[in-house]
Structure 1
Amino acid sequence: MGDVRRYLAVGLDCYLCLVTVGILARPYVHRSDSAEAAGLLLGPALVFSFLNHVVLTALTGAGAGKLIMGIRVVGLPDAGRPGPWPLLLRWLYGLCWLPLQPWYGLRSLLSGPGVLPRTTLWNGGNGELRADPLGLRQVRRSDLAARRNATVAARAHR
């Protein structure tokens, strides 16, 4: 699956989160100081992110952005819908992974090419990037449907 589709799904998730949080917090932000305003924005953003990435994905197989872009999150090896526990851990990894990316990029630039591997939470320190630390993958909805049809056809021929 192309990275463009996944990046668009992430962008849609971010946009929907910002719009929702902005609408919810707008009546209260102008009445508070900056620390309270940050809390008023951060709390709902985390709740919306959890609902989108854990609850909605557990129920439908994808968050809002992935649903719009025709992507599903599946567990390996059976390509079934992942349970809430792997989705919760995946969400927590994402919360830790994203803020650290500037650090990893800067560290690899300052160390020179090939000196330090790009180490992240996603690869366990060996420099090889993995799509997901919990055995979950993102696939196009059409590819998932084709796999199911092929499985049904193979069972019918037996």
Structure 2
Amino acid sequence: MRRYLAVGLDAYLCLLAVGLLVRSCLESVGTGRAIALPVVQLIGLSFANQVLLTMAVRASAGKLIMGVRVIRLPDAGRPGFRRLVLRWLYGLLWLPLQPWRRFLRDPAAVWGPERPAGRPVEAYADLAGVRQVRRRDLRSYRAAVRGGAHGPVPRGD
């Protein structure tokens, strides 16, 4: 639930910032640019939030508020620029199309069960090899590793 709230906060903060920027810029640009301007600003702010801020503090603005951190798998280290860019592109381009992809593949499956009986639900995994965990779980994991105990990688929240 924390992850979803963090994503919602990220989207809200990005739209709020773009709304404030566009409002101040609309008087100086024509109508053609007025359409492209919010799109370019949304993409730029999304990149800055999801890649640059995450590189700096291990979390986007919404994740910071919700106490969620982004880690690299399998060692719970800091994800690099390339992984974060791949993760950002994945979230920007591929994830929004999933409901449509499922509907186009099998319209009856949208209203029916998602998985065949007996098949386990897949654990949260990310395309780029990064995972979101609670800050508290990450601290516990690091303390266990420093103490000599080798526990599992923190599970996603």
Q: Report the TM-score range of the alignment, normalised by the length of the smaller protein.
A: 0.7 to 0.9
Amino acid at match of 1:70: G
Question: What is the Cα deviation at residue 99 of structure 1?
Answer: 3.2
CA deviation digits over 1:35-64, x for unaligned, max 9?
Answer: 422211111111100000000001111100
Query: For residue 94 of structure 2, what is the aligned residue in structure 1?
Result: 97
Matched residue SS, 2:133: strand
| Match runs of 1:62-141 below 5 Å | 62-112=59-109, 131-141=125-135
Amino acid at match of 2:59: A
> Structure with the greater relative contact order (CA < 8 A, sep ≥ 6): 1 or 2?
2
Query: 1:5 aligned to 2:2?
Result: yes
Distance (Å, rounded) in 2 between the aligned partners of 1:13 and 1:83: 20
With structure 1 as the length reference, what TM-score do the two structures score?
A: 0.79
Q: Is the CA contact 2:18–2:38 (under 8 Å) kept in the aligned structure 1?
A: yes
Q: CA RMSD in A?
A: 2.6
Query: For residue 39 of structure 2, what is the aligned residue in structure 1?
Result: 42
Q: Which one of 31, 49, 55 corresponds to residue 52 of structure 2? A: 55
Question: What is the Cα deviation at residue 139 of structure 1?
Answer: 0.5
Distance (Å, rounded) in 2 between the aligned partners of 1:134 and 1:40: 29
Q: Is the CA contact 2:70–2:131 (under 8 Å) kept in the aligned structure 1?
A: yes
Matched residue SS, 2:147: helix
Distance (Å, rounded) in 1 between the aligned partners of 2:29 and 2:144: 58
Structure 1 residues 94 and 32, CA, compared in 2 at 3 Å: closer, same or farther? Answer: same
Distance (Å, rounded) in 1 between the aligned partners of 2:123 and 2:100: 16
Question: What is the Cα deviation at residue 98 of structure 1?
Answer: 3.2
Q: Unaligned regions of 5+ residues in structure 1, if any? A: 119-127
How many corresponding residue pairs?
143
Query: For residue 15 of structure 1, what is the aligned residue in structure 2?
Result: 12
Question: What is the Cα deviation at residue 16 of structure 1?
Answer: 0.4
| % identity of equivalent residues | 51
Question: What is the Cα deviation at residue 31 of structure 1?
Answer: 5.8
With structure 2 as the length reference, what TM-score do the two structures score?
A: 0.79
Amino acid at match of 2:34: A
